[in-house]
Structure 1
């Protein structure tokens, strides 16, 4: 996720340094070093913790010395609390964010939460930074951020699975794979674009606007969610994702 976000972050005026022994193909204007020893004397206003959670304990403590006075740590590490990270880095201010996959193309949704010692200036910077990759929602606790994770962080996976099942059903209606994919993605994309218009009605009204009594859409919707089966399944989906996020933290 760090590499995906980097492609959006470079649109600003900041000087960005990446420490990664494995990276090679980074956007222009980014300084790449392979080891922290190459930045020992440098101080940074924002240090992004973009490593796997199981590696944080071994990697991040040393970087406390690289944090400039007044700076903060922006964590995109899933399953690692801001409180734990702040303590690990000697009480450093931490802001935690949870982006989702479409951030890679500037269409993501990122939850942002202040951690220990984070100031309003830190939050303002973090929000602006993450908005380069899409929209943001700021919450006041990591518990709420776990709920953002369940809805938005994991959300693309749900959408892809729904689209896959939708396309599979279209194939069963006699269309080939390419035709089914084009129709399904075009329909979903068009409907989402319409619902996202500033003047759009609420989602229930939009659904009703294409549902004539006794018509084909009404018949399909009755099969889809007439018994509230879809609604029940989605409630269970979000709850399961939230419960797992809490376990990981």
Structure 2
């Protein structure tokens, strides 16, 4: 299969590196924002260099505000049975159809850990996509981590609020935790190592355990112990529940507004 990637910023670059090493796609990129492409990837700087070539998959990896201006020029490079895959947040399938007509179109919303093959990707396909095309797209997302098949664009937006934006929440909570460790007297490096290793071990345990996370939490919370004291402060008046809920809801509402 031949794949053309239009643009290649941070997220597109993360996907490209994994795809180039983990799939058998023939990949061409145009106007990348980095200097060195992975081995085997064809790099072009202008659309004219594509000549008369047709691609089975065209991946739209440019900023949403550029799609209307850029994408129509690439319609002629899509094979008759080809598929367009967009990773642009908030740009709907119907908006893409207005630019290139009724085609097999998918939207993928990956997240940053795709860089290391531990990403979460939501995948939505319109009715024009064949089972074979969906299988290929799923293989691409599986190459960068876990794939969730969304049955609607609204579900894709909800996954975006939970997982797509999720690393940002995780990094900010981690930053606050590290800052708290430093205020107890640890050096920045030691604080980082303590927090990240605690987080990493806890997450790995949660992913491999048959117990749910509430049970695991209770297993380290002795009555009148240090963990109970810490959790009492963290969960006071259900403030944490409310804060996390409002965080995810705000991200979802923004995704809806961008449609």
Map 1:175-194 onto structure 2 (within 5 A): 175-194=186-205
CA distance in 2, matches of 1:64, 1:33: 17
CA distance in 2, matches of 1:179, 1:203: 27
CA distance in 2, matches of 1:181, 1:166: 9
Which residue does 1:212 correspond to in 2? 222
Q: 1:91 to 1:165 in 2, by over 3 A?
A: same
1:13 Cα offset (Å): 1.2
1:79 Cα offset (Å): 1.7
Unaligned runs of 5+ in 1: none
Give SS of 1:162's match: helix
Q: Determine if the alignment matches structure 1 residue 77 to structure 2 residue 84.
A: no
Which residue does 1:39 correspond to in 2? 50
1:23 Cα offset (Å): 4.2
Q: 1:135 to 1:22 in 2, by over 3 A?
A: closer
Contact residue 17 and residue 33 of structure 1 kept, 8 A? yes
Contact residue 100 and residue 153 of structure 1 kept, 8 A? yes
Q: Determine if the alignment matches structure 1 residue 14 to structure 2 residue 25.
A: yes
Which residue does 2:117 correspond to in 1? 106
* Normalised TM-score (structure 1): 0.96
CA distance in 2, matches of 1:21, 1:223: 48
Q: 1:141 aligns with which of 152, 159, 173?
A: 152
Count of residues in Structure 1 that have an aligned counterpart in Structure 2 = 248
1:187 Cα offset (Å): 0.4
Which residue does 1:52 correspond to in 2? 63
Which residue does 2:79 correspond to in 1? 68
Unaligned runs of 5+ in 2: 1-10
Map 1:86-235 onto structure 2 (within 5 A): 86-197=97-208, 199-235=209-245
CA distance in 2, matches of 1:168, 1:23: 33
CA distance in 2, matches of 1:86, 1:108: 28
Give SS of 1:178's match: helix
Which residue does 1:30 correspond to in 2? 41
1:124 Cα offset (Å): 1.4
- Runs in 1 of length 4+ with deviation above 4 angstroms? none
Contact residue 72 and residue 93 of structure 1 kept, 8 A? yes
CA distance in 1, matches of 2:18, 2:236: 42
CA distance in 1, matches of 2:25, 2:150: 26
